[in-house]
Structure 1
């Protein structure tokens, strides 16, 4: 997911123009909170997270500085920052806002998620433009998007589980024996969104602001089209393949392999066949496919890694930007 963490660009508008409007002038950078004209002081580092939450880089291991068995924990790429914004400490909601602020500054108006759309509509600097193009972004913007996405993708199931437990603890009243049930109605609007993002990143179904944010078995129910229409094409592809993954389907796509291999519940089975799908599975796959077609069709790996909320062919940067 994974990876992926994560949190999301949406593709709700009709096909947008490939060429940027010559008249469009983005808001001054100083007027856009959290927007940076310089590359974030962060870097992507390969290595391992241990059970204690500490990080061991491949460089440290190669230099023999640490007595560590890398076979015990899967190596991944993480983001480390030497100054603000400390991407590795932000919530999924905060990362999503930070990433989408970059696109919003240049006029992206296709936000399908209500909370994102409403957030930017409230900003005095925001000027939506139906002729938005990714070509408006600078190389600094592209680099920062990649860093944000990498931070989202860096989160593993154990990280997400820890984040979710911390969130639920805020609305859980414990009895003398230390047990208790979280009161989801007591969550703040921001925490409700965060819980929805976390749940979906863990392989469950959730809309960001809905009441079903903690329904672990919700994929065993027929999904609602109105809920699916609030998700990005990236969300929809992952959700559709989550249904297959739950039944043990192996994936040829490197992106899907990376996403699901971090899920403790995923067990790839070479003997998999679609005969394992239930009637509800098949119905949900059909509904998700229907919504994907409404918004331009399912993403492929090469589209999935282009940080472009309009069309994947809008630009062709030398290094594809990954989208969460």
Structure 2
């Protein structure tokens, strides 16, 4: 487990460095792709009155630097002023003179013909996807999903896809506010107070079984890094955070800031977000602010992090609990066990850090034999992980 996480982090760091080095080339390809797509003049079509055809969609390219189907979907919505979280779409729209973003956009403004056009685009996208993704389940209402189209997904994506089978028929998810809000933002969703599972056909039931079975193969947590867009206006709960490691909690906490445009200085943090489609650091960092819901979510995560840190002195820990943390974090975590007993540190940086903690009471008489058996075992685990961890300041060279 430990080696796998270390290898994964090295991969992320390498990926981040490679993407940075290749950024200019990718931008050139993307801009050329945008120009080619713009020449097809889809922005000249009145999608409220005219239907697009399968033949038109068949001529679009989604194998290069630009996914033209996604851009067309962006144009249909963009004509109404929708602002996208998908940066690959939003960045394109912002280059178009006709695009006028509207913060108050809602799907209610869409006409029947616009919805038909979007249906055709989305279902065509679903056909082309190599694996089933959120938004694709309408395609599979009359067919069983092949096993080779069910890949590993994030916990929230699994939850969305499983729920989507029934959301297509209007099921409400009032006991999961974030999920209900997610579907209310889909143009095709119509809540049905009279929904019952009895209306599901045999294919939908079989697909539900397959989705649940695939998710449960590796189900450990309810949410993961990359899921926080669903909680920017919906509160997290302690139950949703169950099973997350210190590393998981730290990354999802920083994800809220990343989604608001924070620029991360240390390479270790930067590499986690810079390859994400939605990540776009603001030039003016003074404008990076969280909304009240995000602030509450960050505080909840911080409290959960504090609980895990407290356990290090009172309960046995596992390698998995601290795997993935940077070497600097592990060093502080290891010394925190000593600090709880008042140890005075020779390292001025460590001493300054712990002296700033409200709970720290220096004890010049501290000796190692004051540690409990649990603390000694936890120290050994942290030290072992620390010896194989990566610095947050590590840059990939080559």
Instruction: Tell me the TM-score normalised to structure 1 length.
Output: 0.38
The two structures have a TM-score, normalised by structure 2, of 0.32
Point out the structure with max Rg over C-alpha: 2
